[in-house]
Amino acid sequence: MEISNLQKARAAYQPKLPKALQGSVKAVEGAPTQSVGNQAEIKELFPNTYGMPIITFEAGEPVKLEPFNVGIILSGGQAPGGHNVISGLYDGVKSLNKDSKLYGFLMGPGGLVDHKYIEFTDAKIDEYRNTGGFDIIGSGRTKLEEVDQFESGIKILRELGIKALVIIGGDDSNTNACVLAEYYAAKKYGVQVIGCPKTIDGDLKNDQIETSFGFDTACKTYSELIGNIQRDCNSARKYWHFIKLMGRSASHIALECALQCQPNICLISEEVEAKAMSLDEVVTYIAKAVADRAADGNNFGTVLIPEGIIEFIPAIKKLIAELNDVLATPEAQKLNNADEQIAYVKSHIAADNLKVFESLPADVAAQLALDRDPHGNVQVSLIETEKLLSRMVAAKLAEWKKEGKYNGKFSAQHHFFGYEGRCAAPSNYDADYCYSLGYNASRLIANGKTGYMSIIKNTTAPAAEWIAGGVPITMMMNLEKRNGKMKPVIRKALVELDGAPFKFFASKRAEWAKQTAYVYPGPIQYWGPTEVCDQATKTLQLEQAK
């Protein structure tokens, strides 16, 4: 395979490890844990993996281990650094016994069920060190939730002599890891399951998980693109750029990019919901900023929009909740075409929701009614919110012009940044963080743990001072409605409006809205001063007050 000069140079980069993982370790156990919600129900569902203590690793005495084999799965959407989790796990397993083996299941959890795998070698791992993407084994979205899947999996795990399985994924994938760990523990199959926190969305975080891997690189990649657009915007001075950013439900990416780039407007879905803003109020907020800048002769600007914002406008959120329930019914599943589905929806939703549904542009209403992801939820990334908002802002400004309240020019450009950031070459932060997560997973396995997620904390400090350990996945779980039924899932972390990152943003946004205060972050840097190359996200620095 041809590789670029950058990849050749990056292959030589040796990721940094926490001091605690640089030699032999001992596991220090904390107090028993409980789930973040629905404690009685979660305990009943996970009797074998509930209530386990948080683990912290410290330097320990060398222990000789017999060879052991490990399997690994990449699950869900890609995120920068996945290859480094695998290389960290590979190096960690080999450091415990050079005869241990690491197997990769191909194209996600489906590879485990269908018995498709490869054995990793030094040459294979070296080819992918410090690279973006998940192409070393591919990824997939097969959900591990059925007994026949678990039983098919155990057959290949036994055939390959695998004692532990590492699942790299987001909240849904790690929920599956937790279910699998519980099943194998209940059956006494002797196979451990370890999770690893991945998602560029940034919504897999809590008191124990500082950040999900890939978030840093994706935000730096998007911020470079936003900075480029802002430089163009400030040069041409004739367009408003409406930029939608990936992030599914949470607004972490939009907020981080705003902190890095200082756009004129950044919408935060969680604030829209907390203030119970209507779609018209969101549009009016943007239009007022456009008009205020026009009064100063600035008919240009940038607006950042989180992809999930439509779900957070209370009236539309209520509509979507009912649509999810209505479309999950057996009758709805039998409908043959879009017209039938929309007619069914209109005749089965409440009057207030019908009014909201019919107030939306026909194309947006159709997307809400028809497009569902594998969990039965609206595919918000398919809704062109950036065009919807700019269209409505233009209409609002036209009204104001007729009333003599606005005399500027408004012309919009539209962008959606999503896939551009998912497979970027990892930043030094993500390269180090991911390698440490993988290496740490080998120590959780060696200590006999199952149903744990690999965690690395204190990551705004130099890497040597990072804290390594594990947290029981059950600790992060609660019950939520999925496809019309209550299911155990890891609780998503949304932007906290009383948190330091949002508060800092809120203190600056009026100034950024009126002035042209753009920051141009430029491309990710891999070599040079640490303040340029090794910094964590602004979000993490503000959260840890560093």
Reading the block at residue 193, the tokens are 């399951």
Please report, as a single letter, which amino acid is at residue 32: P
Residue 424 backbone phi and psi in degrees, to 5: -65, 150
Name the catalytic one among 91, 171, 201, 432: 201
* DSSP assignments along 21-58, one per residue: GSS-EEEEEEEE---SS-HHHHHHH-TTTSSPEEEEEE
Active site residue 201: yes
Reading the block at residue 57, the tokens are 């690793």
CB atoms within 10 A of CB 284: 16
CA 67 remoteness from chain centre: 34
Which is nearest to 384 in space by CA: 409, 363, 399?
363
Which is nearest to 145 in space by CA: 319, 374, 370, 439?
374
* Partners of 57 in the β-ladder: 27
Cβ contacts of 289 within 8 Å, gap of 6 or more: 264, 265, 301, 513, 514
Query: 138, 108 in Cβ contact below 8 A?
Result: yes
Opening angle at CA 140, ends 134 and 142, nearest 5: 155
Query: What is the spatial order of strands in the sheet that 452-457 belongs to?
Result: 25-32, 53-59, 467-472, 452-457, 192-197, 162-169, 69-74, 101-105, 117-119
Query: 302, 289 in Cβ contact below 8 A?
Result: no
Query: 474, 490 in Cβ contact below 8 A?
Result: no
Residue 334: Cβ-neighbour burial (10 angstroms; 0-12, 13-18, 19+) = exposed
CA dist., res. 174 & res. 350, Å (int): 35
* DSSP assignments along 154-196, one per residue: HHHHHHTTEEEEEEEE-HHHHHHHHHHHHHHHHTT---EEEEE
Just list the catalytic residues.
201
